[in-house]
Amino acid sequence: MTALQLFFLRHGETDWNAEGRLQGQQDIPLNALGRRQAAQAGRKLKKIFGAGGVPAVWQASPLTRTRDTMTLARAELGLPAAGVRLDDRLKEFTFGRWEGKTWPDVMALDPEGAAARDRDKWNFCPPGGESYAHLAERLRPWLAEQQPPTVVVSHGGVARALMHLIGGLPIERAPTADIWQGRVLVFSTGKFEWV
């Protein structure tokens, strides 16, 4: 791929986000704030695209929170809910047996695992789960298939993996990079920026 233009939206907030629970691949719906954030991201896309037309390719993780974010964002551009390709490779990485727990829960139940994750967040794999490194490998073939421009709605872990794969963010920094809801992360070859 010689050039890339990818417009990335993280799904809007869920109650589990608000409670600090590890969602992973659990199918948690948007809350009221998350629905507003999804519409806000759609308005940002509308400003970005202006009169130049919208991309033909729209893709999302198949989880409810991403599909609903996509539907609400597309509505702001006057686009129907249909016309979005769902791709399992865009799912969040799984936290395995840690899903549904808060970080204080994890530290109390699995202090050794929590400490190991703190030492190497990119490569650490929770019990029954995936690491950022696994997620990045899952995303590589998907990324190689992209024909720019494209709009993607996915998850925070996916955004961080793409920050490394596309923008070269070091693996030591990628797992702690800020990921926003209601904003657009614009990737182009070798770089990324939030708008």
Question: Per-residue pLDDT tens for 70-96?
Answer: 999 999 999 999 999 999 999 999 999
What does the pLDDT look like over 17-63, one tens digit per residue?
999 999 999 999 999 999 999 999 999 999 999 877 888 899 999 99
Q: 13, 92, 99, 130: which one is catalytic?
A: 92
Residue that wins the pLDDT comparison between 4 and 157: 157
How far is Cα 96 from Cα 138, in angstroms, rounded to an integer?
A: 17
Q: Answer yes or no: are the C-beta atoms of 84 and 74 closer than 8 Å.
A: yes
Which domains, from first to last, does the chain contain? 5-194 (3.40.50.1240)
User: Where do we find the tokens 């791929």?
Assistant: 1
Whole-number Å distance between alpha carbons of 95 and 39: 28
What is the reported pLDDT for 182? 93
Mean pLDDT of the 91-115 span: 98
Please write the tens of the pLDDT for every residue from 131-172: 999 999 999 999 999 988 999 999 999 999 999 999 999 999
Q: How confident is the model at residue 1 (pLDDT cuts 50, 70, 90)?
A: very low
Q: What are the structure tokens assigned to 179, written together?
A: 């990921």
Please state which of the ranges 1-10, 47-56, 94-103 shows the lowest mean pLDDT: 1-10
User: What integer pLDDT is reported at residue 2 of this predicted model?
Assistant: 44
Section 58-69 average pLDDT: 98
Angle at 156 between CA 126 and CA 50, to 5 degrees: 165
- 124 forms bridges with which residues in the sheet? none
The reported pLDDT for the residue numbered 52 is: 77
Q: What is the pLDDT averaged over residues 112-139?
A: 98
Q: What is the pLDDT of residue 12?
A: 98
92 is an active site residue: yes
Rounded to the nearest 5°, which phi and psi values hold at 193? -155, 150
Give dist(CA 27, CA 53) in Å, integer: 32
With a cut of 90, say whether residue 183 has pLDDT above it: yes
pLDDT at residue 63, as a whole number? 98
Residue 177's Cβ-side half-sphere holds a number of Cα atoms within 13 Å equal to 26
Q: Distance between CA atoms of 101 and 128, rounded to whole angstroms?
A: 14
**pLDDT (average), residues 112-117:** 98
End-to-end CA distance of the chain: 24
CB-based contact 69:99 (threshold 8 Å): no
Q: Look at residue 194 in the predicted model and tell me its pLDDT.
A: 96
Mean pLDDT estimate for the chain: 96
